[in-house]
Amino acid sequence: MLLLPIEASILDGVKDRLPGKQDAFLLFTTCVFPIHVWAILIFLNDAPAYIRRMPFGDIAGIFAYTQVIALIESLIFWGFLLFVCISMPRKYFKDWFISQGTLLVLGFFILVIPMHYQMDIIEGLQWNLELYDIMFVVWLLLWLAGLIIMSTLIRRNLIFEKKLVNLVDRIMLLSLLYVLIDVVSFAFVIFRNIR
């Protein structure tokens, strides 16, 4: 297939902005880790109710579905980070891909975890939604300020950047174990639905 010069230059520009395979893989494992930890914690929180009411096969099925969904969420989030890498200027993201991506992953989960407990927070505020809205805006602004400060710190402090990359290297093995569990869970889900 022949490409027009404009199409070829666009593809070359996109390829130039994408990270290397190893960096992309390391960031994928970074995406896998917190999503799977959260999915397992939620499953374990509900497990006592499952144990009382369901046979083991159904509990294994619920666990398998949670892991398959966690894998899909990891892939979507990883795709989002690759899109950010393509769309941001090279000096802000691609040159610091693993550390900036890790910061976004951790920052996203710091933002999302309170949202999971949103109803508990609202009940604790005695259903004062105006106060909740104010708290949420303050939380969002603090989160954004923290993200900007940490991003600047990564680009200006090589020691901090190396510590983040070291963290990613350390969680890679556990993340690969989660991916292996995902593959087994996916096979279980397929087998269960065919049967």
What dihedral do alpha carbons 33, 105, 65, 113 form, nearest 10°? 110
**Quick one: pLDDT at residue 69?**
95
| 1 in a structural domain | no
| Residue 60 to residue 68: CA distance in whole angstroms | 12
* Residue 86 included in any domain: yes
Domain count of the fold of the chain: 1
> Where does residue 66 fall: left (phi above 0), alpha (psi -120 to 50 degrees), or beta otherwise?
alpha
Determine how many CB atoms are found less than 10 A away from the CB of residue 161: 19
Q: What is the pLDDT of residue 133?
A: 84
Q: Do 107 and 147 meet the contact criterion of CB atoms below 8 Å apart?
A: yes
Higher pLDDT, 15 or 119: 119
The long-range contacts involving 87-90, CB below 8 angstroms and separated by at least 24 positions, are 90/17
- Other C-beta atoms lying within 10 Å of the C-beta of residue 38: 17
| 164 belongs to a structural domain | yes
Whether 142 maps to a domain, the answer reads yes
- Under DSSP, the state recorded for 19 is P
pLDDT tens per residue across span 60-108 = 999 999 999 999 999 999 999 888 888 877 776 666 778 888 888 888 8
| In-domain check, residue 6 | no
Would 5 be classed as within a structural domain? no
CB neighbour class for 139 (10 Å; exposed up to 12, middle 13-18, buried from 19): middle
Is position 8 within any domain?
no
Average pLDDT, the chain: 84
Supply the range of the domain harboring residue 110. Answer: 19-194
In a domain, 30, yes or no: yes
The answer to whether the predicted template modeling score (pTM) of the entire model surpasses 0.95 is: no
Q: What is the pLDDT of residues 41-58, one digit of tens each?
A: 999 999 999 999 999 989
Tokens of 142: 């603090």
The CA–CA distances, whole Å, from 133 to 6, 76, 124, 146 equal: 48, 28, 14, 20
Helices (H), 125-157: 129-156
pLDDT at 167: 85
pLDDT for 165: 83
